[in-house]
Structure 1
Amino acid sequence: MAATKADRERTEPPLTIQEMAQRSGFSEPTLRYYEKIGLLGPVPRDDSSGHRRYHAALAERVDALACLRSSGMSVAEMRRYLTLLDEGGRAAAAEQRDLFARHADRLSGEIERLRVRQAYMHSKADMWDARYRGDTDAEERAIEQVEHVLRRF
C-alpha cells in the first residue's frame, strides 16, 4: 500500500536547500526567490540553525514547479496554476485545463521550430561532410536541402 503524504512527512527527513536544489534542478537563489514571491509559501526553518527545511509535501510542490518551469511555463502561469489548485472546483478545473492546453500548444510550436533547426543542422553537417569527402554531387544535394530547410524558417 502506498504511503500517504502524512506518513511521508513523519518518515522522510526534510531536505536542506542544497538537497532541494539538487533534486529539483533549481538553484538555491531561485528557491529563495520562489519563497519570497509566494510560490512556495513560507519554508519551515530548523529551530537550532534557522536553515530552510523542505518537508515531503513542500518538496513535491517544488518538483511540480520544476516540471512546469522546465517546460517553459512563466512564473505568472505557475502562480495562476497554484491559485487554481487552491481554489479547486469545476470552474478552477476548466481554467486549469485551458492553462495547460495553451501551454501544450506553445510547446508544440517550439518542438516544430526545433525540428526545423535540427533538419538544418543535419543538412549542414551533410554538406560539410560531402565537401570533406570531395563529393560535389552530394554537396549540391545537401546545399539544396539546406535551402529547402531555410524556407521553412
Structure 2
Amino acid sequence: MTIREVAAKTGMSADTLRYYERIGLLPPVPRNAAGIRTYDEYFVNLINFIKKLKASGMSLEHIIDYIRLAKMGEATLQARKNLLAEARETLVQKINSLQLVVELADYQLNNYEQLLQPETEALLQRAPVPVPMAV
C-alpha cells in the first residue's frame, strides 16, 4: 500500500505518518525500487494501535516508551500500565482545570452586568476600569 492508501485506511494524514516514522514511533517503512514507501497490514494495525493509545490520552513520547517497553516482554507489564495510569491522571487534571474555567465563565455570565459589561464599556471608551462591588 502507498502512504496515500494507508492514510485513507487509517484516517491519518500522510504528513503525520511521515512524522511518526521520523520520530521513531513507526519503524522504517520499506521502500520499493523507486523509493516509494510500501506499507503492509502490519503498519495499518500498528497505526490503529497508536491511535488507540493516543485516544486514551497518551503523549507520543509515552507511546514510544510504551512500544519500546512492550518489545522487552512481560517484565514490563507494570511499567506499561503505569504509563496508561499517568496518561489518565493527566486527563483528570485537564478535566478539573476545565471545570474551574467553566465555573469562572458561569460566574461571569451570571454577574455580567456588574462585572464584564462595565469593564467592557470602560475599555472601549479608554476610561479607568471600574472596580466591581462585592457580589
TM-score for the superposition, normalised by structure 2 = 0.65
Tell me the equivalent position of 1:86. Answer: 71
How many angstroms apart in 2 are the aligned matches of 1:70 and 1:25? 13
- Structure 1, gaps ≥5 residues long: 1-13, 129-143, 145-153
Q: What's the C-alpha RMSD, in Å, of the aligned pairs?
A: 3.1
Q: 1:21-59 deviations in whole A, cap 9, x for unaligned?
A: 3454543223112212322112133x3654323322211
Q: 1:60-117 deviations in whole A, cap 9, x for unaligned?
A: 211222233355433321111011111111x211111111111111111112222232
TM-score for the superposition, normalised by structure 1 = 0.59
Q: Which runs of 4+ in 1 moved over 6 A?
A: none
How many angstroms apart in 1 are the aligned matches of 2:57 and 2:109? 29
How many angstroms apart in 2 are the aligned matches of 1:25 and 1:122? 37
Change (3 A) 1:26 1:70: farther
- Structure 2, gaps ≥5 residues long: 113-134
Tell me the equivalent position of 1:62. Answer: 47
Q: Mapping of 1:24-103 within 5 angstroms? A: 24-45=10-31, 47=32, 49-89=34-74, 91-103=75-87
Identity of aligned residues (%): 33
Q: 1:117-136 deviations in whole A, cap 9, x for unaligned?
A: 234445545556xxxxxxxx
